[in-house]
């Protein structure tokens, strides 16, 4: 028994000692979106509809100019993203739950960022239809190397069957040019009655998206119901099955759909049962954690941890749980320019944390 305890201590101690947590900011109200500006300052979006600039001296400034949005349940100010040429054009993108006829829906706008306000606001995407309820808005945004903007949406929970239909934006991934027009090579642009923005469909509620560095492909994860959270590699025009295919069950315990696989539908490359409620993801490419190079990092809300997934090519071969000792809901991950990792915790008194090596390099 003593030998077993010794072996366990040798396994656990290096993991606990390989990182330290720096508290960058506290008192954030359910923060969701985060970007690092070229200046080193940070923009944080609070779900209730506030945009904050965290300055390098530790102060914070409220940024004015956001449009009207619905802040209820899972809705509000959602993701933030910088244009690939932000340093020259100052375009900041943000997704949010937009009110309108029928209820609310995910929308994306862009605006020019100055020191204290947004200007030249343009709404470049509006989810159709708007629906009632306050759940499953998505939403993450990511630019690929060609400058295309991918937007993830949820199926709004009660409208899940619409995820299998192409005449709406619910439960879809959209692909747009940076100004909001539709690329002519989108897969359904010539399909009658289909929304031309659609890149893939059959999704439930995607809250993590990142570009795979070697391949340039879009990877996402999405919430399952009671179990069945997924990691998916996104292919143009593919159907990812929800709600016909899932590894999860109804919250009441009943079955959903027709099993875990159907011909013609894309299978996930990784599944969590029970659910961890994933949110935020990135491929680590920094130098501060050299043995994490190429790993896929995923935050967990219900799971209250950071998950490091080890890859072999495009296969996930191992899972490591980190930061469980913090007992926090991790909403968003952003790679810092210095190789550290920023984390937003989802709470009424949320924090901006930074993951750094335990010792200086």
136 is catalytic: yes
d(CA 214, CA 206): 22
Integer Cα distance of 295 and 185 in angstroms: 31
Q: Which of 83, 136, 203, 223 is catalytic?
A: 136
| Structure tokens belonging to residue 292 | 């994490």
Whole-angstrom Cα distance, residue 361 to residue 158? 50
Rounded Cα–Cα distance for residues 268 and 96 (Å): 27
The answer to whether 242 and 315 are in contact (CB under 8 A) is no
| CA-based nearest residue to 331, from 357, 298, 355, 356 | 298
Yes or no: say if 17 and 358 are a contact pair by the CB < 8 Å rule. yes
Helix, strand, coil abundance in the chain, percent, nearest 5: 10, 45, 50
How far is residue 217's CA from residue 249's CA, in Å, rounded to a whole number?
29
Catalytic residues: 136
């Amino acid at each position: 028994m003593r030998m077993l305890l010794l072996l366990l201590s040798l396994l656990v101690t290096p993991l606990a000692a390989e990182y330290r947590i720096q508290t960058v900011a506290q008192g954030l109200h359910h923060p969701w979106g985060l970007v690092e500006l070229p200046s080193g300052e940070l923009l944080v979006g609070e779900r209730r509809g506030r945009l904050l600039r965290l300055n390098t001296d530790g102060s914070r400034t409220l940024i004015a100019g956001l449009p009207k949005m619905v802040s209820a349940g899972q809705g509000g100010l959602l993701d933030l993203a910088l244009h690939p040429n932000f340093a020259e054009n100052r375009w900041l993108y943000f997704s949010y739950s937009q009110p309108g006829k029928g209820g609310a829906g995910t929308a994306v706008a862009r605006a020019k960022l100055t020191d204290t306000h947004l200007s030249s606001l343009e709404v470049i995407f509006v989810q159709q239809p708007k629906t009632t309820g306050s759940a499953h808005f998505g939403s993450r945004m990511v630019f690929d190397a060609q400058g295309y903007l991918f937007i993830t949406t949820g199926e709004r929970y009660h409208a899940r069957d619409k995820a299998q239909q192409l005449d709406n934006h619910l439960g879809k991934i959209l692909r747009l040019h940076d100004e909001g027009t539709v690329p002519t090579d989108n897969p359904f642009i010539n399909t009658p009655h289909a929304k031309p923005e659609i890149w893939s469909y059959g999704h439930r509620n995607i809250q993590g998206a990142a570009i795979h560095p070697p391949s340039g492909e879009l990877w996402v994860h999405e919430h399952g119901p009671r179990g069945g959270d997924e990691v998916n590699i996104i292919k143009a025009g593919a159907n990812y099955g929800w709600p016909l295919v899932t590894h999860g069950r109804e919250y009441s315990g009943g079955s959903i759909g027709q099993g875990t696989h159907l011909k013609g539908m894309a299978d996930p490359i990784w599944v969590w049962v029970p659910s961890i409620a994933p949110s935020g993801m990135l491929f680590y490419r920094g130098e501060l954690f050299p043995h994490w190079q190429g790993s896929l990092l995923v935050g967990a809300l219900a799971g209250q941890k950071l998950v490091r997934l080890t890859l072999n090519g495009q296969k996930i071969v191992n899972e490591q749980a980190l930061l469980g000792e913090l007992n926090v809901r991790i909403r968003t991950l952003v790679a810092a320019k210095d190789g550290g990792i920023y984390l937003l915790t989802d709470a009424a008194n949320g924090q901006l944390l930074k993951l750094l090596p335990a010792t200086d390099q």
